Amino acid sequence: MKVLANDGISQSGIDALQAGGIEVITTKVAQEQLINFINEHQVDVILVRSATQVRKDIIDACPSIKIIGRGGVGMDNIDVAYAREKGLSVINTPAASSASVAELVFAHLFGGVRFLYHANRNMPLEGDTQFNSLKKAYSKGRELRGKTMGIIGFGRIGREVAKIALGCGMKVIYSDSYVENAKVELSFYDGQSLSFTFKTQSLDSLLAESDFISLHVPAQKGYIIGKEQLTQMKKGAGLINAARGGVIDEVALVEALDNKKLAFAALDVFEDEPTPAIKVLMNDSISLSPHIGAATDEAQDRIGTELAEQIIAILK
């Protein structure tokens, strides 16, 4: 049995697969060469993250494939329904990276309320000549404690975001069409825990009440946050997207930032990924990262191990 980990896999995942008698190929194959490579090497399993696409053409042209795996949550780069119709197993690791994404959300959020996204750009340029001016410019930071965190989408990642928000002393509200009620267990290092219960509310009310909003929804056909929704948000609010590109209207977002409706935004994902719009990249009110929500050593170890366990269970 052969596994092609085309977008990479952790060493722990490789070790687990090899211990199960499975050969692991980590060669990065270009999208247009995948079909030939898979057929030439008789690959049984193809593993991807977000870069490689597994569409109908590959599914139809590569009869050796038995399993398609996605290291992460969303599977919008895979024709899942079609693959399953053809009898292939399609797997992912929905829980492995939840904490990592949530921590990145708060990295951006802490940076947003203390102007770090802006200071980190300007200190290298002007810190030696305009130190006092920069100090004055960034001296009106805000604390998170006592503020309201609005979470759109209350699945695994949304709940991890809620845990950190609760730990920071924030009020948490959420909107999710599929989750009417939710319970969040906040566990501490010494074994103690606290339980919190929540009830969904309308998107309109969440937009109006939240000081900061974080999106945690799958890929959509349309915008979740467009011009209308941005006008409903509090003046001076912050908006964070570490979910999927295309759920925020980036043109409307830039406009809302430029007219000071929003204080800042943070984007880990983009409408035109991997070539984000220049107006987004150059806007100095946006904190930016290149789709690294799940990119921690710990998350990648969990992803690799979970994929290996699922693959071995299916193939054996």
Q: Which residues are catalytic?
A: 244, 273, 291
Separation of alpha carbons 71 and 21, rounded Å: 21
- Phi/psi of residue 292, each to 5°? -120, 20
Is residue 246 within 8 A of residue 220, CB to CB? The reply is: yes
Secondary structure of residue 64 in the 3-state scheme: coil
Which residue type, as a one-letter code, is found at position 266?
A
Is residue 228 within 8 A of residue 207, CB to CB? The reply is: no
C-alpha torsion sign, points 263, 269, 270, 276: positive
Tokens of 230: 């941005």
Tokens of 2: 């052969």
Secondary structure of residue 308 in the 3-state scheme: helix
Separation of alpha carbons 243 and 268, rounded Å: 8
Is residue 114 within 8 A of residue 141, CB to CB? The reply is: yes
Secondary structure of residue 4 in the 3-state scheme: strand
Tokens of 104: 């990145």
Tokens of 217: 């929804």
Q: Tell me which residue has tokens 């042209």.
A: 61
Separation of alpha carbons 215 and 229, rounded Å: 13
